[in-house]
Amino acid sequence: MIQKIGVIGAGQMGSGIAHVCALNGFDVSLMDVNPEALKKARDVIRHNLERQASKGKISEADVAVALGRIQTSTEYRSFADCDLVIEAATENEDVKREIFRNLVPNLKEDALIATNTSSISITRLAATTDRPERFIGMHFMNPVPVMQLVEIIRGIATNEETYVAVRDLAHKLGKTSAVAEDFPAFIVNRILLPMINEAIYTLYEGVGSVEAIDTAMKLGANHPMGPLELADFIGLDTCLSIMNVLYDGLADSKYRPCPLLVKYVEAGWLGRKVGRGFYDYSKETPVPTR
């Protein structure tokens, strides 16, 4: 039975996962090698919980109780008594492999491991651990406290008990699960990222401006956010990583990352998180950068 949950990575995804786990009654150990990231994560979680309270979705008492359930640490040994550890680090396979190598010696024998990867092979990541049968993909959507979906992805070795435990956990967190097979980028990003990449090709080829492309998709396809605005929100480095996983994993030219996406990432224009991507976020109203 899952009672205490570890989360690796105190960025946007990790802090969001810690938030929903704590709010739904689970003790959480949030770990990051960067103490500043942990401090920022606590501030973000507090702010988001207070915002939920201000809208009447939770009570003020819930805010204090949830924050009290979250412990932070820079050490892997903080996961010694966790029943499940969810890895939510950057979308880089080498980084994730190194994390799992450091994590495994600090886990109890029956602990489960989940990865929040949005595209990388669960089977391959599981093989870097001592427990591939207790390893699974649990892909939360961003922002975690708001989005309803969790993709659950079994690796080739994942056993039924692990799947059932994680599916039930997603339900207890108030999420709806969609089960995906272990193919590159799973369901959501297999469909979403090529659309975003095509929008960037549309910009690259001069078919439309940033503003025209986003307006067209918002008003013509009823999307809540235009594809270039969404790319900035996701992070252009993450978009490029997922497109590379699709291109390498499926060997189909339709998944070739747009050269303009590559150029933006090389420039460090990674989107909203750095203040500049397809839009410049330095002023109150974002302005297209081309």
Mean pLDDT of 204-217: 98
Same domain for 110 and 139?
yes
Write the pLDDT tens digit of every residue in 253-276: 999 999 999 999 999 999 999 999
Mean pLDDT of 169-185: 98
Burial class (CB in 10 A: 0-12, 13-18, 19+), 201: middle
Mean pLDDT of 196-211: 98
Same domain for 161 and 252?
no
The percent of residues above 90 in pLDDT, for the chain, comes to 99
Could you tell me which residues are beta bridge partners of residue 5?
A: 28, 84
Cβ 227 vs Cβ 217: under 8 Å: yes
pLDDT of 88 reads 98
Q: Is 118 noted as a catalytic residue in this protein?
A: yes
Residue with tokens 């390893």: 135
Provide the terminal-to-terminal Cα distance of the chain, rounded to the nearest Å. 52
Mean pLDDT of 171-178: 98
Query: pLDDT category, 246, cuts 50, 70, 90?
Result: very high
Helix (H, G, I), strand (E, B), or coil: what is residue 150? strand
Is the alpha carbon torsion for 114, 118, 120, 122 positive or negative? positive
Cβ 187 vs Cβ 151: under 8 Å: yes
Mean pLDDT of 127-134: 98
Mean pLDDT of 246-254: 96
Query: pLDDT category, 185, cuts 50, 70, 90?
Result: very high
The percent of residues above 70 in pLDDT, for the chain, comes to 100
The residue out of 122, 155, 180 marking a domain boundary is 180
pLDDT of 158 reads 98
Same domain for 223 and 170?
no
Which amino acid is present at 124? R
The residue out of 180, 204, 239 marking a domain boundary is 180
Same domain for 65 and 160?
yes
The boundaries of the domain holding residue 143 are: 4-180
Q: 260 CB contacts (<8 Å, ≥6 apart)?
A: 200, 201, 203, 204
Cβ 123 vs Cβ 156: under 8 Å: yes
Q: 12 CB contacts (<8 Å, ≥6 apart)?
A: 142, 143, 273
Same domain for 99 and 229?
no
Same domain for 199 and 169?
no
Nearest 5°: the CA angle 111, 78, 125 is 50
Write the pLDDT tens digit of every residue in 51-104: 999 999 999 999 999 999 999 999 999 999 999 999 999 999 999 999 999 999
In this structure, what DSSP letter does residue 71 have?
E
**Could you give phi then psi for residue 286, rounded to 5 degrees?**
-60, 140
Q: What is the pTM of this model?
A: 0.92
d(CA 116, CA 14) in angstroms, rounded, equals 9
Same domain for 38 and 113?
yes
Write the pLDDT tens digit of every residue in 38-58: 999 999 999 999 999 999 999
**CATH number for the domain that contains residue 263:** 1.10.1040.50
The residue out of 130, 153, 180 marking a domain boundary is 180
Query: pLDDT category, 189, cuts 50, 70, 90?
Result: very high
pLDDT of 171 reads 98
Cβ neighbours of 132 (radius 10 Å): 20
Same domain for 158 and 48?
yes
pLDDT of 47 reads 97
Same domain for 157 and 212?
no
**CATH number for the domain that contains residue 88:** 3.40.50.720
Cβ 63 vs Cβ 90: under 8 Å: no
- The total of structural domains in the chain comes to 2
Catalytic pick among 29, 118, 177, 197 = 118
Mean pLDDT of 154-160: 98
Q: Is 151 noted as a catalytic residue in this protein?
A: yes
Same domain for 69 and 197?
no
Residue 265 to residues 11, 235, 241, Cα–Cα distance (Å): 19, 9, 10
Q: What is the mean pLDDT of the chain?
A: 97
pLDDT of 240 reads 97
Catalytic pick among 116, 151, 177, 241 = 151
**Could you give phi then psi for residue 179, rounded to 5 degrees?**
-90, 125
Same domain for 192 and 174?
no
Catalytic pick among 119, 139, 197, 229 = 139
d(CA 1, CA 17) in angstroms, rounded, equals 19
In this structure, what DSSP letter does residue 175 have?
P
Same domain for 74 and 158?
yes
Q: 141 CB contacts (<8 Å, ≥6 apart)?
A: 147, 148, 149, 150, 188
pLDDT of 2 reads 97
**Could you give phi then psi for residue 269, rounded to 5 degrees?**
-85, 80
